[in-house]
C-alpha cells in the first residue's frame, strides 16, 4: 500500500508579511494513521525539498501527541526535508493520495496543473483522494472525466467561512474554501467549528479542519479498502494503474 502526501510549497500569507505553509497536525496525524496501518509513505510538494511549516501550527497550543511524535521521529523529519517534486510523481505508483492543509495550498496547489493532473488521474483510475481543512481548495479546478467540476454534485466539506473569520484571514486568502466548493456545485456540509467532521463520497474524502486530520486519514484507508474490493476479491491489494 503506497500512499502519497502532497504538501504546499507556498510560505507567504498574502500581503501581510507573515508566513504560512502546511499545518503540522494535518501532516503528522495522517502520517501515523498510514504508517501504523503498514503503508509506505511518500511526501511530495510543488518545489520538492523542505516545505514551509505554518509557524502557528508549531506553537505550544497547537501541539498534539502526533506532532510531538513526528518532531521526535528522525525518519519522518528526513522525509519532510526531502519531499519529491510534484512534477515527478507518477500516479500509477500510488494507491491513494492525501492533501494536508494549512493556508499555503490556497495559493499554489489550488492552481497547480501537476496537482490537478494527479487528482484527475487518481480518480480516473479508481483510487481515492483525501484533503483536509484548507486542502479541499486543491479541488478548485479539478474536472471529472466528463469535463464538469469534480466536486459538482458530490458531498464534501472543508474549512468553514466562520472558521476563517475566527482566524481573521477572510480578506487575506485568495478564496474561501466553503464558498468555492458551493460555487462549483458541491453538496457542502459542515460540523461545529473546530470539531472533527469528515465526509466521504465515493473516492473523494474531505475533512473540515485540523481536528479532522486523523479521521480523514482513516476514512481514506476505508475508501481504499472499498475500492480494492470493488476492483477484485475482498482482501485483494488495490488495483494498480
Q: Residue 61 maps to which CATH number? A: 3.40.50.880
Least confident of 74-78, 80-84, 229-233: 229-233
Give the range of the structural domain holding residue 142, as residue numbers without chain letter: 2-231
Q: What is the mean pLDDT of residues 212-231?
A: 91
Q: What is the mean pLDDT of residues 82-108?
A: 98
User: Does 84 fall in a domain?
Assistant: yes
User: Does 218 fall in a domain?
Assistant: yes
pLDDT at 216 over 90: yes
Of 106, 100, 136, 128, the closest CA to residue 213 belongs to 100
- Give the whole-angstrom CA distance, residue 171 versus residue 214: 29
- 58, 29 Cβ separation under 8 angstroms: no
Query: What pLDDT score does 236 carry?
Result: 40
Give the mean pLDDT of the chain: 94
By percentage, how much of the chain surpasses pLDDT 90? 93
User: Does 241 fall in a domain?
Assistant: no
Query: What pLDDT score does 229 carry?
Result: 75
- Give the whole-angstrom CA distance, residue 53 versus residue 241: 32
- Tens of pLDDT, residues 149-201: 999 999 999 999 999 999 999 999 999 999 999 999 999 999 999 999 999 99
Length, in residues, of the chain: 241
pLDDT-based confidence at residue 231 (cuts at 50, 70, 90) = low
> How big is the chain by its Cα radius of gyration, in Å?
16
- Give the whole-angstrom CA distance, residue 155 versus residue 206: 9
Query: What pLDDT score does 93 carry?
Result: 97
Query: What pLDDT score does 184 carry?
Result: 97
Q: What is the mean pLDDT of residues 4-23?
A: 97
pLDDT-based confidence at residue 228 (cuts at 50, 70, 90) = confident
User: Does 236 fall in a domain?
Assistant: no
Helix residue ranges, H only, 87-201: 113-124, 161-166, 177-183
User: Does 131 fall in a domain?
Assistant: yes
User: Does 67 fall in a domain?
Assistant: yes
List all residues 6 or more positions away from 157 whose beta carbon is below 8 Å from its beta carbon.
136, 188, 189, 190, 191, 197, 198, 199, 206, 207, 208, 212
In DSSP terms, 45 is beta-bridged to 85
Q: What is the mean pLDDT of residues 49-78?
A: 96
pLDDT-based confidence at residue 232 (cuts at 50, 70, 90) = low
What's 168-231 look like in SS3? CCCCCCCCCHHHHHHHCCCEECCCCCCCCCEEEECCEEEECCHHHHHHHHHHHHHHHHHHHHHH
User: Does 23 fall in a domain?
Assistant: yes
Task: Give residue 198's Cα distance to chain centre.
Answer: 12
User: Does 110 fall in a domain?
Assistant: yes
- Tens of pLDDT, residues 30-42: 999 999 999 999 9
Q: How many separate domains does the chain show?
A: 1
pLDDT at 234 over 90: no
User: Mutual orientation of helices 213-231 and 24-36 as an angle, nearest 10°?
Assistant: 40
Amino acid at each position: 500500500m503506497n500512499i502519497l502526501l502532497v504538501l504546499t510549497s507556498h510560505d507567504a500569507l498574502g500581503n501581510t508579511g507573515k508566513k504560512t505553509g502546511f499545518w503540522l497536525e494535518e501532516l503528522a496525524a495522517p502520517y501515523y494513521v498510514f504508517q501504523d496501518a503498514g503503508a509506505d509513505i511518500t511526501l511530495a510538494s510543488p518545489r520538492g525539498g523542505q516545505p514551509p511549516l505554518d509557524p502557528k501550527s508549531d506553537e505550544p497550543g497547537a501541539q498534539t501527541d502526533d506532532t510531538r511524535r513526528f518532531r521526535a521521529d528522525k525518519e519522518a523529519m528526513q522525509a519532510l526535508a526531502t519531499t519529491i517534486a510534484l512534477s515527478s510523481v507518477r500516479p500509477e505508483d500510488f494507491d491513494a493520495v492525501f492533501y494536508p492543509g494549512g493556508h499555503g495550498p490556497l495559493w499554489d496547489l489550488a492552481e497547480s496543473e501537476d496537482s490537478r493532473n494527479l487528482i484527475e488521474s487518481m480518480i480516473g483510475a479508481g483510487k481515492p483522494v483525501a484533503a483536509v481543512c484548507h486542502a479541499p481548495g486543491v479541488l478548485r479546478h479539478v474536472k471529472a472525466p466528463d469535463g464538469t467540476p469534480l466536486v459538482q454534485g458530490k458531498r464534501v466539506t472543508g474549512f468553514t467561512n466562520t472558521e476563517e473569520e475566527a482566524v481573521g484571514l477572510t480578506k487575506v486568502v485568495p478564496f474561501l474554501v466553503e464558498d468555492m466548493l458551493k460555487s462549483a456545485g458541491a453538496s457542502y456540509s459542515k460540523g461545529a467549528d473546530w470539531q472533527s467532521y469528515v465526509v466521504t463520497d465515493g473516492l473523494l474524502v474531505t475533512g473540515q479542519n485540523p481536528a479532522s486530520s486523523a479521521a480523514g486519514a482513516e476514512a481514506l484507508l476505508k475508501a481504499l479498502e472499498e475500492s480494492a474490493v470493488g476492483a477484485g476479491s475482498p482482501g485483494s491489494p488495490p488495483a494498480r494503474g
